[in-house]
Amino acid sequence: MTTANASPETPIALITGGSRGLGRSMALHLADRGVDVIFTYKSAEAEAAAVREQIVAKGRRAAALRLDVGDSDRFEAFASAVSSELARTFGRERFDYLVNNAGTGLHAPIAQTTAAQLDEVYRVHFKAPFLLTQTLLPLMNDGGRVLNVSSGLSRITFPGYAAYGSMKAALEVFTRYLAAELGPRRITANVIAPGAIETDFGGGHVRDNAQLNKMIAAATALGRVGVPDDIGGAVAMLLAPESRWLNGQRVEFSGGQGL
């Protein structure tokens, strides 16, 4: 068993929303770099099982746990499930990396955004990372990492994403406070901010709307829209030992979108 002051040789990452899209790519890239993975899924049990099998096929240990990040009342029970899974699957007491990735999309003009929609974006994109990180900190090794997933929309404006972009901006401020307060435990906290990515996120508009895809590509220095592996590889890099001195920072991976 490990202690809070001695991180194990093989790190364990916990990724929320790891059954598809960016989270799936993160999990697989981390497995390629020798990291064991716990990831969550909301309802896609078959997809989660497939990702777990892919990680195991890479020679790493993996576990998939159900979690609705919008329901913070369940976080204590989830922490207990993580603790049990650490002991059962990994023979350990603590994990090393927390990636707050799970999210939902919202496209609505300010004048048409309802209170219910605003509350939902708040619960998923700010309240969840705040309270879930708080709840899981006792299970993290000293010297670990917190990586919060933001968005290029916290830097650039795109009509219809005011609620989403604003919550991501709040998440970025929270991350700087995390970095300051977790410093005594040598836990770093950073933000990765993806640009537009071709996934099913937000109804798959960036992937499936050819006109929108072309417009975003034209506004991106590298001339294309991002794909999940652009972000999965970036997360693996940001969690690598060589990135240990990065702390309290926002790093955008957007191919130069909106420069």
Q: Which amino acid is at 49?
A: A
Catalytic residue among 7, 150, 166, 254: 150
Catalytic residue among 7, 42, 166, 168: 168
Catalytic residue among 151, 154, 166, 254: 151
Neighbour tally for 68: CB within 10 Å: 17
- The two beta strands, 95-100 and 62-66, are unpaired
Q: Is 80 annotated as catalytic?
A: no
Q: Is 84 annotated as catalytic?
A: no
**Structure-derived torsion over alpha carbons of residues 200, 203, 208, 214, reported in degrees to the nearest 10:** -100
Annotated catalytic residues are 150-151, 164, 168
